[in-house]
Amino acid sequence: MDWSSDLRDLIETRRELHAHPEAGWTEFWTTAYVASSLEDIGYSVSVGKDVIDQSAIMGRPDDVDEHIERALSQGADPLWIDKMGGYTGAMAVLDTRRPGPVVAFRFDIDCVETIEAEGEDHLPSREGFRSINPGCMHSCAHDGHTAMGIALARRVMSMKDRLCGVVKLLFQPAEEGVRGGYAMTQKGLLDDVDLFVAAHFGMGVPTGTVISGTRGFLCTTKLDVDFKGMGSHAGGEPHKGKNALLAAATAALNLHAIAPHSGGVTRLNVGVLNAGEGRNVVPPRASMKIETRGETNEIASYVYDRAETVIRSSAEMYGVKWETKKVGEAVTSSSDAELMATVAGLASEIEEVDKVGDIVDMGGSDDATWMMNRVQQRGGKATYVIIGSDIAAGHHNDYFDFDERSMLIGLKLLVGVVAKAAGVV
Amino acid sequence: MDWSSDLRDLIETRRELHAHPEAGWTEFWTTAYVASSLEDIGYSVSVGKDVIDQSAIMGRPDDVDEHIERALSQGADPLWIDKMGGYTGAMAVLDTRRPGPVVAFRFDIDCVETIEAEGEDHLPSREGFRSINPGCMHSCAHDGHTAMGIALARRVMSMKDRLCGVVKLLFQPAEEGVRGGYAMTQKGLLDDVDLFVAAHFGMGVPTGTVISGTRGFLCTTKLDVDFKGMGSHAGGEPHKGKNALLAAATAALNLHAIAPHSGGVTRLNVGVLNAGEGRNVVPPRASMKIETRGETNEIASYVYDRAETVIRSSAEMYGVKWETKKVGEAVTSSSDAELMATVAGLASEIEEVDKVGDIVDMGGSDDATWMMNRVQQRGGKATYVIIGSDIAAGHHNDYFDFDERSMLIGLKLLVGVVAKAAGVV
Amino acid sequence: MDWSSDLRDLIETRRELHAHPEAGWTEFWTTAYVASSLEDIGYSVSVGKDVIDQSAIMGRPDDVDEHIERALSQGADPLWIDKMGGYTGAMAVLDTRRPGPVVAFRFDIDCVETIEAEGEDHLPSREGFRSINPGCMHSCAHDGHTAMGIALARRVMSMKDRLCGVVKLLFQPAEEGVRGGYAMTQKGLLDDVDLFVAAHFGMGVPTGTVISGTRGFLCTTKLDVDFKGMGSHAGGEPHKGKNALLAAATAALNLHAIAPHSGGVTRLNVGVLNAGEGRNVVPPRASMKIETRGETNEIASYVYDRAETVIRSSAEMYGVKWETKKVGEAVTSSSDAELMATVAGLASEIEEVDKVGDIVDMGGSDDATWMMNRVQQRGGKATYVIIGSDIAAGHHNDYFDFDERSMLIGLKLLVGVVAKAAGVV
Amino acid sequence: MDWSSDLRDLIETRRELHAHPEAGWTEFWTTAYVASSLEDIGYSVSVGKDVIDQSAIMGRPDDVDEHIERALSQGADPLWIDKMGGYTGAMAVLDTRRPGPVVAFRFDIDCVETIEAEGEDHLPSREGFRSINPGCMHSCAHDGHTAMGIALARRVMSMKDRLCGVVKLLFQPAEEGVRGGYAMTQKGLLDDVDLFVAAHFGMGVPTGTVISGTRGFLCTTKLDVDFKGMGSHAGGEPHKGKNALLAAATAALNLHAIAPHSGGVTRLNVGVLNAGEGRNVVPPRASMKIETRGETNEIASYVYDRAETVIRSSAEMYGVKWETKKVGEAVTSSSDAELMATVAGLASEIEEVDKVGDIVDMGGSDDATWMMNRVQQRGGKATYVIIGSDIAAGHHNDYFDFDERSMLIGLKLLVGVVAKAAGVV
C-alpha cells in the first residue's frame, strides 16, 4: 500500500486545524470542518445536539454565541452551524449492512487555553500555521488526533466493500477539563459498540513506539465554587460585612489539608482563587476553581465528599452563600488484555514502529474512560493506545509540538484495527 | 475613733485567708471561716445553697466533693460545711427593725489558679502566710476584700443601735471567670437593696487614692468547647479519622479573625487549646477555653454569636461533634452619679486619702455588674469603688501583693457609707 | 453681595468636571481644565512635576501614558499637558505683596473607580453629564470640591486689592487611596502656610449644616503584595510547586487575626486576593490589596509591622518570593480650636446655614492630614471642615450625587476665611 | 525434639514481663531481668551504656532516675542497674571460637503507653498478670518477643558445641517511637553481622502463618516542637502578647496541607497540640508532637524539610521562639530474597505452621531497619519476619493480647535459623 498521500493529507489537515484552535464546547469551526470533510468522503454525519446529551453537559461556557459568530467569520459553513443547534462534536457512521462487529474510535477536537509561542524556534510559527485565535492553542495534539480521524474515515470508506459490521468515528468536544466525554456517552453512542479504541500522541513516549493499553486513569472531578457574602466599609462598618475572601481562604487551606487515603493516590488542587472588589471593602464575593482526584472511584468520592464538606462549612463559618458546580468529571478505567494483544500485534507489523510497549500507568485523567467503561459494561472490549511522538516541549506548554510522522503510524494502526475486526487481515 | 485594732485584725484575718486560697465554687474553708466569724460577731448567717440559685450557676467544677474533704482536713467547721449543701458563699444580714434603706456590700472570696511565688522577695512567703494549696493563690486581693467584709461586719454590729434599715454583707464565690455573681443575683438577694457598693483594691491606682465609681465594664462570656472526633492510625488509615485537632486549630484561627465592631471594643481569646492523644493517632478529641468580650451587650452578643458560628462550622468541617458550655458571664454597668458623689465626699474626709478620683473606665469585667444592674433596675443606686493600693506585681501575677494599709482605708469608707445611709453622719 | 452667578458657574463647572472623571494620578484633563481656568482668572499656575515631589509618590499606575493620550483626545490643552511632565495636580498662588498671613486651601480632584449608574433616577444621567470615562465616576464629590476651588479663585481675584498676605489654592491629585497628599506636602508647598483649610461635602451631614473641625482621622497605609511561587502539574508533580495561593490564604487569615490594640481602634482589610492560573496547576502567583489603620501613629505602626511579619512568614512558609509596595498613606490629625472658632463664626453668618456643629470624629482617613500636620508643626493653624450636603446615595455608591447648593455655602465660607485672614471683615 | 517445657517457660517468662511493662528508655526492670536470665544461662551480657551510643539516642524522657527507683522497688537487681549506667538494653553473645557466620537477632523490650483493660474479658487480667505499672502496657507483643529471645538463648546454649561462628542476641529499648534502634546500630553492634533476623508477632497475620520477609517500611521522623511566646492580659493588653497558640494552630493546618509527592506515599500527623495557660491570657506557650513519613528517604526528607519550614515560619509569624527536637527516626528497608527463602524453607517444616507467606508491605515503621541496612551495607543479609498470631484486639489497643502458642513457632523458626547458619541442618 502506498501511504505517501495519506501523510501529505494528514499534515495539511493537521496544520489547518492547528491554526484554528477552539476551546471546549466552542469548537464550531472545527466541527463544521470535520463534518464537511466527512460528508465529502461519503459519510452520514451527525453533529452537535444529535451527538450530545444536553443534560449531561459539564463546564460549558456562557459565551457560546460569540464563538458561533467567530466561527462563521472564520469561514465555518452556516448550514453545519445551524445543524449543530449550539452544540459541538460530530459522529460519522459507516454501516456495511453486513453482519459484523461495531467498531468505534474517539478523536478529541478541542484545544488548550494557552497563548501559543511565536518565533523561529516554534515550527507552527515558522511554517505559518500558528493559532489565529488568541489564548487558544492546540498544545495537546488534538489537532493531530482529529486529522488522523479524518484520514481514517477516508481509508475506511475506500475499504468499505471488504468490511462488515459498523464503523463509528466519534469527534468529541471538550476533552480538556474532562467535560464532553460523559455527554457523548450518555447520548447512547457507545451502547452498541463491540470494540473501542482511543488514541493519544506523545505522553512521554517517543516516535516509533506504540503502547497497546493504559490503566490507572485517576478519577477526577472539576468543580467551580462561588461564594457570595456582603460588602461593607472595612474601616467604618467591618462587622456588617460577610467576608467571602476569608471563607475562600479558609476553604483553600482546609481543602489542601484533607487527609490522604490509605487505599491509593489522592490529589486536590485549588488552582484559582479570586476574591474581593475594593481595598477598603469587606470582600463580598469569591470564586475558586478546584479539581479532586483519586485512584479509584471510592477514593475519588472520599476526596470529593470531604471537599464539599469543607467548602460548605467554610461558607457557613462566614455567613456566606455558596454554590458549587461540577464542570468536569472522569472515571478510572483499564484496557482489555485481548484487545491490547490485537493492537500490539498490528503495531509490530508497522514499518515505522520499532518498539511495542505493554500497558502503562496513566497517572492522569481522560474522559474517554466513560466510553471505555460503557463498552466494557455491555461486554465489549476497549483500549486506550499511546502513539509515541517526539515532542518539542511538554504537553500544554506554549512551545508544544509533536512529530507529524506519528500521525501516519497512528493511522496505519487504526486502519489495521478496522481490517482485523472485519476479518480482512 | 481608734482604728488601730481594726488594722491589726484586718491584717491577721487577711493573712489567714491568704494562706487558704480556694478557687471558684470550692471556697468551703473560706465560707466556713467567714460564717463562723460573722456568727461570732452576732449575725444571722446564710450559706451555700441558701444564697445561690443553683439553676444559675456557671462553671462549677466536677471535683467539689474532694474540696469539701480538703476543707474539712484543713479545719473547716463540719456544721457549716453541712449547711452549705455543696455550695459556697455566705450572707450576713443586720436588720435594725427601724425604717431605713437596705444597704448591701459585695465581697468576692475566691482565689486565682496561680502558683504562688516563693522566697524572700515575696512578702507572704517571707512572713509565712504563703498559700498552702498548691496552684491556688490570692493574687487578685480577694483575701483583702473578704477581710474587709468581716471587719465591716464588726464595726456595723458595734453601731447597730444608732443605725436604721438593713445592712447586707454578701460574700460571693467564683468571681474569677465571672461565674458566681449571677447565681447570687438570681437568688433574689439584691431585690430589696437601695444602695449597693462593691469595692476592689489596686487596679492600677496607688494607695491613698480612691475612685468613687466605674463604668465601661466589658460584657463577657466564658465558654468551654469540646470537640469529639474519631481516632485512627495516622500512617495506616489516615482517611478514617475525624481530626478534632484540625477542627480546633481552624476554629482558633478564625475566631481570632472575627471582624471588629465599629460600635466599640471587642475582644476574643482562645486561652487554652488541648488536643490529641498519641503522636501517631489522628487526634480524636480537642478542647478549648475561650472568652468573648464587648463594650455593650449588643457588641458582646455580636462577638459571641460569631464565635458560636465559627466553632460549629469548624466542627462540621471535620465531621466532629462539639459541645459548648457557658461557664461564666458578666454584663456591663455604670456607677450612679449620686452615690459616687456620696462616696467621694466620704473618701475625702479619710485621713489616709490624699486623692479622690472621678469615674474610670474599667476595661475589664466583674460579675458584680449583675448585682449593680438588678439594684438599678428597681430604682436603687449602685457603685463600684476602686480603693487604691500599691502592688508588688500585676494582678494575677505570682508575685502579686497589695498594700495592707489600703484595707483600713476601704473599711473606713464602707463604714462611712453605712453611717451616711442611716443618717448618722 | 450677589451670589447668583457664582451658583450658576459652580453648577456648570461641576457638571463639566463630573462628566470627565479621572482616577488618581491620571487627572490630566482635569488638571489642564483647572490650570486653564485659573490662568484665565489671572493666576500664576504651577502644575504636575512642579507641585509634586516625585520621590514621595505612592500608588501611581503604570498606564499613565495612555491616560495622557485619552486626555488629549478629550480636548485637554497640549501646552498644559506638556508642562505637567507626566504628573497631575495644580497650584495657583495670589501674592498681594502686602504683609499678611499665608492662607492655603486644599481641593482634591480625582474620582473613584465606580461604574456610574444610568437612567432617570440618577440626576447626572438624566441631566446629561454622566461620566464619559467607563469605570470612573465622581462619586465622592471631588468634582464639587474642584468647582468650589475655581469659584474661590475668581472671588479672591476680585478682592485682591483689599487683601494682604498670600492665598494658595492647591488642587491635589490622588486623594482616593491617600496617595497624593504626601507628595504635595513633601514638595514644600505647605511650608510657609499660616492658615490651612480643607473641606469636604456630605459625610453624613445634611445641607445647611457646617461642621467647623474634625479629629480622629485614622492613620492608614495601603499596600499591595505580590507572591511569586512556582507552578507544577497538580496531579503529576504536586511536590514540585511552590504554592502562592496557599501562602496568600494563610496570610489573609492570619492578617485578620492580628490582635487588637488596647490603645485604640485598629483595622485591617484584605480587600482583594487573586491567585492562580489553571485549575490543574499548583498556583504560581498571587496578589493582595490590603489596608491597615490605627487610631494613632503608634497603633497604626503596630498593625502595619505585624502585617509585614505575617506576609513575610506566609511567603517563607511556602518557599514563595514576595514583594510589598506601599501605595498610599495618611496620618492622623486634629483641627485647631482657634481656627474652628473662626470658621464656626463665619458659618453662622451665612444665610443658607441653619446649624453649625462642633468637631466630629472622622472615623476614616484623608491625606489632607499630611498638610494639616505640616502647617501645625511650624506653628500654623489648620482645620478640616465638613460642608453638609444631602446626598442621593452613600459616598462611592454608583448612585451618589450631592446637593449642588452646598457648593455655594462652601464658597461663601472659604471666601469668608480669606477675608477674615486679611482683616477685611 | 521435645518443646513442651519451652512453651511452659515461654508463657511463664512472657507473663512475668507482661506484668512489668516499661516505656522506652525506662526498661530498667526488664533489662535487669533479661540480663540475669541470660547470665544464668551462661552468656556474657552487656547492658545499658555498653550497648547504646549515647550520642545517637532519641526521645529519652527526663524522669529516668525515678524509673530506676521504681525498678529497684520492684525487685530489679541493683548490680545490673549499676552496670547499666542509666541506660537500658542488653546484648548476649555466644562466640563458638569456630569459624562461621555472625548471626544476630533483635528483640524489642519496651511497652506502649496504654492503660491496660481490666476484667474477665481480658486474659492478662483474668489470669492475674495484668500490668502493675499504671499507664504502661505490653500491647504490642514485645513481652512475647523478649520471652522468645530468652528462650532462644537457652536453646542456642544447649546447641553450642555443634555451632560455629557467633550468635548475638540484641534486646533493644525504645522501639515504640522508633527511638532506640539507631543508638544500638551506631554503637557498632551490627558491624560484624552476616545474618540478621527481626521478628514480630501478629501484624494482621493469624497463628500458623509465617511471612518470611517485609518491604515498604515507611521512613519516619518523630519530632517535638515547643513554641515560647509571651503572655499578656487578653482583655487589657492583647497587643502585648506573642500568641503561641495561634502559631501552633497555623503550623498544624499548614503542616497537614503539605503537598503530596508524586514519587510515593507521604504522611504527616500532628498527634498532640497543647497550648495556653489561662482563659484570659494570650497563650505564651504551645507544644506539638508530630510524625512525618515517606515511602523513600528522599520523600521522607521532602516532608520533613517542608515541615521544618512550616514550623519555623509559623513561629516567626507570631514573633514566637521555637525549638524542634527529633525524638525518633527510622528508615526504609527490604528483606533479602535469599535469607527469606531460607526462612520460608525452615518455616514450612514447623509442625504448627500451616501457611508460609511471601514478602508483605509493611505500611508502617520499625527501627530495626537501621540494623537491617547496616548489615546489608557490609554485604550481610537481613530479614524482618512476621510470626502470625491471633490477637484479641488491635495492636496498641487496651484489650490487645496475642496467642501465646505463636511464641513457640517463633522460637522453632529462630532456632532453625541458627542451626542452618551453622550448617547443622
pLDDT tens-digit profile of B311-330?
A: 999 999 999 999 999 999 99
pLDDT at D145 over 80: yes
Of A267, A272, A293, the CB nearest to C276: A272
CB contact under 8 A, D271 and B293: no
What interface predicted TM-score (ipTM) does this complex get? Answer: 0.84
Q: Which residue of C has its CA nearest to A255?
A: C246
Quick check: D194 and D102 in contact, CB under 8 A? yes
Q: Which residue of B has its CA nearest to A234?
A: B259
Q: What is the pTM of this model?
A: 0.87
Q: Which domain holds residue D258?
A: 219-329
Write the pLDDT tens digit of every residue in A170-207.
Answer: 999 999 999 999 999 999 999 999 999 999 999 889 99
| Residues in contact with A12: Cβ distance below 8 Å, sequence separation at least 6, in sequence order | none
Q: D248 vs chain B: nearest CA distance in angstroms?
A: 8
Rounded to an integer, what distance in angstroms lies between the CA atom of residue B273 and that of residue B271? 7
Q: Which chains touch D (3 or more CB pairs under 8 A)?
A: A, B, C
The pLDDT value recorded for residue C361 is 77
Q: Which residues of D are less than 8 Å from B252 in CB distance?
A: 245-246, 249
Q: How many CB pairs under 8 A join A and C?
A: 141
Q: Which chains touch B (3 or more CB pairs under 8 A)?
A: A, C, D
Rounded to an integer, what distance in angstroms lies between the CA atom of residue A237 and that of residue A253? 27
Of C236, C241, C254, the CB nearest to D317: C254
Whether residue C256 is annotated as binding a ligand: the answer is: no
At CB < 8 Å, which residues of chain D contact C? Answer: 236-239, 241, 243, 246, 250, 254, 257, 259-263, 282, 302, 309-310, 312-314, 316-317, 319
CB contact under 8 A, B317 and A314: yes
CB contact under 8 A, A266 and D260: yes
A252 and A200 in a common domain: no
Query: In CATH, what number is assigned to the domain containing residue D8?
Result: 3.40.630.10
CB contact under 8 A, D265 and A266: no
Rounded to an integer, what distance in angstroms lies between the CA atom of residue B27 and that of residue B34? 10
Q: Which chains touch A (3 or more CB pairs under 8 A)?
A: B, C, D
Of D237, D254, D261, the CB nearest to C239: D261
Quote the radius of gyration of chain C (alpha carbons, Å).
Answer: 23
The pLDDT value recorded for residue B280 is 86
* Alpha-carbon dihedral angle through residues D6, D11, D14, D20, given to the nearest 10 degrees: -140
Q: D238 vs chain C: nearest CA distance in angstroms?
A: 6
pLDDT at B22 over 80: yes
C298 and C227 in a common domain: yes
Q: Which residues of B are less than 8 Å from A237 in CB distance?
A: 262
The pLDDT value recorded for residue B58 is 95
A193 and A227 in a common domain: no
Alpha helix (H) residue ranges in B176-235 = 181-186
At CB < 8 Å, which residues of chain B contact D? Answer: 113, 177, 218, 220, 222, 234-236, 238, 243, 245-246, 248-250, 252-253, 256, 267, 269-283, 286, 289-291, 293, 363-365, 396
Nearest C-alpha neighbor of B173 from the set B93, B110, B222: B110
Q: Which residue of A has its CA nearest to B233?
A: A262
The pLDDT value recorded for residue A195 is 98
Q: Which residues of D are less than 8 Å from B238 in CB distance?
A: 267, 269
Q: What are phi and psi of B322, to 5 degrees?
A: -145, 155
A199 and A226 in a common domain: no
pLDDT at B37 over 90: yes
Of B253, B265, B363, the CB nearest to C257: B253
The pLDDT value recorded for residue D262 is 87
At CB < 8 Å, which residues of chain B contact C? Answer: 253-254, 256-257, 259-260, 262, 265-267, 363
In chain C, which residues have pLDDT < 70? none
Q: Which residues of C are less than 8 Å from D262 in CB distance?
A: 236-239
pLDDT at D249 over 80: yes
The SS3 call for residue D331 is coil
CB contact under 8 A, D271 and B283: yes
The SS3 call for residue C98 is coil
Give the length of chain D.
Answer: 425
Domain boundary among D329, D346, D375: D329
Query: Percent of chain A, pLDDT > 90?
Result: 89
**Count of CB atoms within 10 A of residue A143's CB?**
29
Of D253, D259, D260, the CB nearest to A253: D253
CB contact under 8 A, A319 and B309: yes
Identify the band that residue A113 occupies on the pLDDT scale cut at 50, 70 and 90: confident
Q: Which residue of C has its CA nearest to D252?
A: C250
CB contact under 8 A, A267 and C291: no
Q: Which residue of C has its CA nearest to D302?
A: C239
Query: In CATH, what number is assigned to the domain containing residue D252?
Result: 3.30.70.360
Of D246, D280, D283, the CB nearest to B291: D280
Rounded to an integer, what distance in angstroms lies between the CA atom of residue A383 and that of residue A386? 10
The pLDDT value recorded for residue B315 is 98
Rounded to an integer, what distance in angstroms lies between the CA atom of residue D356 and that of residue D341? 10
CB contact under 8 A, C234 and A279: no
D154 and D97 in a common domain: yes
B293 and B226 in a common domain: yes
CB contact under 8 A, A253 and C248: no
* Beta bridge partner(s), residue B196: B104, B382
pLDDT at A82 over 90: yes
Rounded to an integer, what distance in angstroms lies between the CA atom of residue A399 and that of residue A122? 6
C405 and C388 in a common domain: yes
Q: What are phi and psi of B231, to 5 degrees?
A: -80, 155
Query: Percent of chain D, pLDDT > 70?
Result: 100
Rounded to an integer, what distance in angstroms lies between the CA atom of residue C276 and that of residue A288? 10
Residue C166 grid cell: 498670600
D298 and D287 in a common domain: yes
The pLDDT value recorded for residue A278 is 83
Q: How many domains does chain B have?
A: 2
pLDDT at B364 over 90: no
The pLDDT value recorded for residue B400 is 94
Q: Which residues of B are less than 8 Å from A312 in CB distance?
A: 316
Identify the band that residue A237 occupies on the pLDDT scale cut at 50, 70 and 90: confident
Q: Which residues of A are less than 8 Å from D253 in CB distance?
A: 253-254, 257
The pLDDT value recorded for residue D402 is 97
Domain boundary among C284, C312, C330: C330
D212 and D227 in a common domain: no
Write the pLDDT tens digit of every residue in D320-356.
Answer: 999 999 999 999 999 999 999 999 999 999 999 999 9
CB contact under 8 A, D246 and C257: yes
Identify the band that residue B232 occupies on the pLDDT scale cut at 50, 70 and 90: confident
Quick check: B35 and B89 in contact, CB under 8 A? no
CB contact under 8 A, A260 and D256: no
Domain boundary among B329, B359, B382: B329
Residue C120 grid cell: 432617570
The pLDDT value recorded for residue B326 is 94
Mean pLDDT of chain A: 95
Q: Which residues of C are less than 8 Å from B267 in CB distance?
A: 260
Whether residue A200 is annotated as binding a ligand: the answer is: yes
C33 and C92 in a common domain: yes
Rounded to an integer, what distance in angstroms lies between the CA atom of residue C202 and that of residue C387? 6
Q: What are phi and psi of D256, to 5 degrees?
A: -70, -15
D204 and D276 in a common domain: no
Q: B24 vs chain D: nearest CA distance in angstroms?
A: 14
Identify the band that residue A54 occupies on the pLDDT scale cut at 50, 70 and 90: very high
Write the pLDDT tens digit of every residue in B151-196.
Answer: 999 999 999 999 999 999 999 999 999 999 999 999 999 999 999 9
The pLDDT value recorded for residue D277 is 86
Of D237, D254, D282, the CB nearest to C250: D254
Q: Which residue of C has its CA nearest to A241?
A: C269
CB contact under 8 A, C273 and A270: no
Write the pLDDT tens digit of every residue in A381-396.
Answer: 999 999 999 999 888 8
C376 and C228 in a common domain: no
Tell me the CA distances in angstroms from B316 to A309, A314, B228, B243, B363, one per residue in order: 8, 9, 11, 11, 35
Q: B260 vs chain C: nearest CA distance in angstroms?
A: 8
The SS3 call for residue B39 is helix
